[in-house]
Amino acid sequence: MRALSWAKIKHQWRQTSVWRLIYRIAKGATLLAGALFLSIILVLSSVDFWMSYSAEGLMHKEVKSTPPRDIAVILGTSKYIGRTLNPYYSYRINAAIELYKQNKVRGFLLSGDNAHRSYNEPWTMKRDLLKAGIPEELIFLDYAGFRTLDSIVRAKQIFNLDDFVIVTQTFHCDRALFIANYYDVDAICLGVPSPIPTSWFNVRFREVFARTKAMLDLYIINTQPKFLGPQEPILNMLPRYDYAPIMPRFIPNNKSDKTANE
């Protein structure tokens, strides 16, 4: 009986030891995962704050308060989401027209994706600016603006621009300005509205990760534009005559629940 009891005790002790070990491992893993999660949140928050802080004073929300520049760089996005006019697009185009109308810029660099024959962001923007009455000789196209980084870096290295005004949504301005500052570009940004308040959280959530990716691209990975090439200085191509402001036809802002790709 004593032998049986002792064997039973040893068996129970071994089971208890195993469960204690499992508990300790699980507890350690939980604490490690929690610490890792908090570290990620801290990094994301720090990057987000840093980009916003570095852009302070460089973003303007109204055309009349935007300092004049020779060139406005319009960051591209799709004109339509399905069959619905993309309000992110129309806000940017209307802001570009207003910049010209108020004599804030002399010309435009339209930078966007030209992925295939049926999708051409720069040409679509050019067509709408021409319809608004902006002279063709003031419009220049960058067909390789696949990302914000590509658009900003190519504006400097290909089109020889050291200062310009960026036109995009307000939440996007901080990241674009941060990239410009990294490449020693004296840029400012005209931040146009985001059309759907209900989608603010989703847009903001994605932007936090986009900012972290931009930080990695600049300081860790050293990501370069997909395409570079010979310089095409566009300031030398701008007409030297004075021109009167136009009265453009604006593109309506249709509301949509979908956001544009940035």
- Report pLDDT digits (tens) over 205-228: 899 999 999 999 999 999 999 999
- As given in the structure block, the two tokens for residue 16 are 């208890």
- As given in the structure block, the two tokens for residue 117 are 């024959």
- According to the model, what pLDDT value does residue 243 have? 46
Beta carbons of 107 and 71 less than 8 angstroms apart = yes
Instruction: Name, in order, each residue with C-beta under 8 angstroms of 21's C-beta and a sequence gap of 6 or more.
Output: none
Share above pLDDT 70 across residues of the chain, in percent, rounded to a whole number? 82
- According to the model, what pLDDT value does residue 163 have? 96
- According to the model, what pLDDT value does residue 261 have? 44
Measured CA distances, 97 to 72, 107, 130, 131, 229 (Å): 10, 11, 10, 11, 29
Range with lowest mean pLDDT among 55-64, 86-95, 116-125, 162-171: 116-125
3 has pLDDT over 90: no
Q: What is Dmax (Cα atoms) for the chain?
A: 111
- As given in the structure block, the two tokens for residue 94 are 């209307």
Arithmetic mean of pLDDT over the chain:
86
Give the residue-averaged pLDDT of 78-99: 93
Beta carbons of 107 and 234 less than 8 angstroms apart = yes
- How many CA within 13 A on the CB side of residue 229? 11
- As given in the structure block, the two tokens for residue 47 are 């990057």
More confident of the two residues 160 and 2 = 160
What pTM was computed for the model?
0.80
H-helix or E-strand spanning residue 215:
helix 200-216
Distance of alpha carbon 226 from alpha carbon 161, whole angstroms? 19
- According to the model, what pLDDT value does residue 83 have? 86
Q: Which pLDDT tens digit goes with each residue over 90-127?
A: 999 999 999 999 999 999 999 999 877 778 999 999 99
Distance of alpha carbon 132 from alpha carbon 123, whole angstroms? 14
More confident of the two residues 239 and 170 = 170
Say how many Å lie between the first and final Cα of the chain, rounded.
Answer: 77
- According to the model, what pLDDT value does residue 254 have? 52
Distance of alpha carbon 87 from alpha carbon 256, whole angstroms? 7
* Confidence tier at 202 by pLDDT (50, 70, 90): confident
**Three-class SS state of 76:** coil
Give the residue-averaged pLDDT of 54-77: 95
As a 3-state breakdown, the chain gives helix, strand, coil percent values, each rounded to 5, of 50, 15, 35
- According to the model, what pLDDT value does residue 12 have? 62
